[in-house]
Structure 1
Amino acid sequence: MQGDPRVIEILNEALTAEMTAVNQYFIASKMAADAGFSALAKEYYDESIGEMKHAEVLIERILFLDGVPNMQRLFPVGVGESAVEQFRLNYEMELGAVERYQRGIGICSEAGDAGSRVLLEKLLAEEEHHVDEAQSELANLELLGEALWLAKWV
């Protein structure tokens, strides 16, 4: 089925972001494990796999629309020098995903592509959940302080 080029472009932009997130969460997982934060490492590893699944459904939709998934590009991967800095970088990445999916939903609506709109709405809901969880953790970090907050991730 021939898709609207604007929809294919926003789906590819979302794919770029999801593939960037796969890499960012994966390196964050390995760095957290190396620093002794095994619970945080598992959390990041699971997030990396989740982002890969998001990329998978985006690839499938792009192909369905007779587009070509762009796997060559990535956004800059945020790598923090500390566990707290990495957490904040991941939070900022999730905020970007929410904005991107909101914008994409508008593009899909304008193009009359209900299937892509529904897909992006589903992904948006998941990203909003990630943002909500991250905001709770940042509040805990503020309340507990860095040392106590990090202790829960050992």
Structure 2
Amino acid sequence: MRMRAVFLPLMVLLLGTLLTACGFQLRGQAPVFATVSLTSTAGMSELAQIIRSSWQAQGIHFVSVKNSDFKVQLLKESNNHYIMSGFNSSSSTQQYQVVETLYFAILDKKGNYLVKNGQLSASALATQNNTQQYNPDLIESLRSQLASQLLWRLGALKA
């Protein structure tokens, strides 16, 4: 039993060292791009603003369409909620799954499509009762998740 107490931590340390040595990296930061242009259709100004502020915090610079390395077009945003559990006899609470979906396109400097009909989704569970709607910050949180997902998608194209 004593040998096992010494052997197990040693093996964990060895495994951690091997993973670090081979370049394994958990999450990390999204790659930074030189220049990006962001365009959106009418009615998507809130999502576009969240994407701009999130990406600027990551070091992304926004420029005009003609000067950008990548052109990101936000085509459409949809918000759906699905009933997960209904009303019961003891309470009037209902649980929803809220799904925020972004449709987008990404073009290169020459105007060639890198992603033509892209789609990203983020979802969360929300509880609603008779007296209140679900948390209004929920949609903003889902939009922030979409901004991060879109940045990672763009990073995969650059790599």
TM-score, length basis structure 2:
0.25
Name whichever structure is richer in strand by fraction: 2
Name whichever structure is richer in helix by fraction: 1
TM-score, length basis structure 1:
0.25
